[in-house]
Amino acid sequence: MNAFIHPIVGMLRNTTGRVFLGAVLAGGGAVSTAQAHDGVDVHLDRHGVALEHRHWHPAIYEDRPASVWVEPAYNTLPGPRVWVEPVYRTVVDHIWREPVVQQNQTQVWVGPGYQDRQVEHHHHIRIERVFVPGHFETRIESVVVAPGHYEDVARQEAVSEGHWQSNDQQVPVTPGHYETRIQRVLVRDGLWEERPFIHIDGGIRR
């Protein structure tokens, strides 16, 4: 920066201006390089040289106490092994039942009489009227006991098998509670402050 400004400063006749400009540039350069919080911008126009000073204000944080809920803590202790019975559920099936038919045998008395019967005689079939004495006959009769129908049939279906299980216990170590913790809170963002510094037009003015 100094190498760039020196030729311009050399054109200025005011000795005080040259000394003051050099001091400002030297000081501004040192702050900008060492701390990176200040800076000097040089602007050239037909009126002369203008120096603008910038100052960086870092962000401001504040530590504030806050009440925070802490969940309870538990410790698992193994317990005795216990037998867990199997679990079943009832399932209903809608099924078709065939009709139930019963064969009933009945002894019936048949009185004597004549009947026409087929009789084979010399390889020929002929109808002859014969006398049949009275007798009992067994007759079979089909009786429907239950008609065909749909029926709901319940059955047991396994949900989970019987098994051994560890009866572990949860023992509280620390109960749930509120505690105060320090939290860092942003109060203000960092920002640059623009400060017009000096203007040189053959002399020096603030």
- At 163 the pLDDT is 92
pTM of the model: 0.30
Q: How confident is the model at residue 37 (pLDDT cuts 50, 70, 90)?
A: low
Q: Give the residues across from 91 on adjacent strands.
A: 155
CA distance 41 to 54: 8
Q: Which two tokens stand for residue 194?
A: 């623009």
Domain boundaries, the chain: 2-58+190-205, 66-107+133-182
Q: Averaged over 18-30, what is the pLDDT?
A: 41
- At 157 the pLDDT is 94
